[in-house]
């Protein structure tokens, strides 16, 4: 029972490079989320997807794009990485649409450093 | 704007004592509030959800209260153990669940 799987676990990029963070869930959840977590800042929502085919901006969307490839997969893309995007990125999923009282299930994160 | 605050300092308590963590929110009227546990290097794990019409919720050694007048939730761990050491996050919802910054708890043997 894998739950939420994120790849890669670690990545180092140079400023200006692009990359895609992958996330997949096997719980048949409708909603999926991308967060970043920085020391003292807590989890901040980047983008979320309430259902397959829909995506919406969260609190800190600038510099990121997302794709809800299908019900299982939700990817996060950095088109031109900046040092300010150095962070730990978490993907999560939950059972129904955004704003429901279903708990979120998290992956173990991608640790991204941008030099 | 909506703001979530948790104990600003790390909490250190002796094994066997009760740990109490605080979550305060402003400019927000959540219908429910979730609590999560996060261990170093791992993603948060859901612990408990309490709704606005519930004053108290219990699960084993955990107890959560929700005071909509004070705009506050308290999270208690009774008979604390070193294995309870972790960071605890509160998350009021719905309308895009917002996470607090977390409180780091250390239970000292």
Model confidence pLDDT, tens digit, residues A81-104: 999 999 999 999 998 645 557 889
Residue pair A74/A58 in contact (Cβ under 8 Å)? The answer is no
* pLDDT at position B94: 67
Query: Residues near A76 by Cβ (< 8 Å), separated by ≥ 6?
Result: A20, A21, A23, A34, A46, A47, A64, A65, A66, A89, A91
Nearest to B24 by CA among B62, B74, B96: B74
Rounded to the nearest angstrom, the minimum Cα separation between A17 and chain B is 25
Cα-based distances in Å from B51 to A29, A100, A102: 22, 12, 12
pLDDT-wise least confident of A98-102, B19-23, B24-28, B48-52? A98-102
Model confidence pLDDT, tens digit, residues B43-91: 999 999 999 889 899 999 999 999 989 999 999 999 999 999 999 999 9
> Higher-confidence residue: A48 or B93?
A48
What residues are paired with B62 via a beta bridge?
A: B59, B77
Residue of A33, A42, A91, A111 for testing the chain B interface, max B β-carbons within 10 Å: A42
Which two three-digit tokens encode residue B100? Answer: 């607090």
Note the Cα B18 to chain centre separation in Å: 14
* Nearest by CB: A99 against B43, B94, B99: B94
Which two three-digit tokens encode residue A104? Answer: 């979120």
* pLDDT at position B22: 96
Inter-chain residue contact A108 with B32, CB threshold 8 Å:
no
Q: Which chain B residue shows the shortest CA-CA distance from A90?
A: B43
B47 φψ region: left (φ > 0), alpha (ψ -120 to 50), beta (else)? alpha
Q: Is B19 helix (H, G, I), strand (E, B) or coil?
A: strand
């Amino acid at each position: 029972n894998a739950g939420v799987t994120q790849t890669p676990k670690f990545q180092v990029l140079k400023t200006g490079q692009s990359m895609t963070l992958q996330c997949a869930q096997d719980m048949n959840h409708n909603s999926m989320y991308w967060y970043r977590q920085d020391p003292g800042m807590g989890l901040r929502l980047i983008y979320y997807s309430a259902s397959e085919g829909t995506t919406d901006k969260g609190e800190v969307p600038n510099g990121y794009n997302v794709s809800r490839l299908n019900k299982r997969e939700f990817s996060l893309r950095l088109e031109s990485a900046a040092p300010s995007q150095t962070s730990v990125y978490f993907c999560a999923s939950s059972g129904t649409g955004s704003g429901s009282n279903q708990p979120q299930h998290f992956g173990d994160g991608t640790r991204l450093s941008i030099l | 704007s909506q703001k979530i605050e948790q104990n600003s300092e790390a909490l250190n308590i002796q094994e066997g004592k009760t740990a109490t963590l605080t979550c305060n929110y402003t400019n927000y009227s959540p219908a429910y509030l979730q609590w999560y546990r996060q261990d170093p290097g791992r993603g948060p794990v859901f612990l408990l959800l309490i709704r606005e019409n519930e004053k108290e919720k219990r699960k084993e050694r955990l107890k959560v209260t929700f005071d909509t007048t004070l705009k506050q939730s308290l999270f208690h761990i009774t008979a604390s153990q070193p294995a309870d050491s972790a960071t605890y996050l509160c998350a009021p919802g719905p309308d895009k669940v917002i996470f607090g910054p977390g409180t780091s708890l250390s239970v000292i043997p």
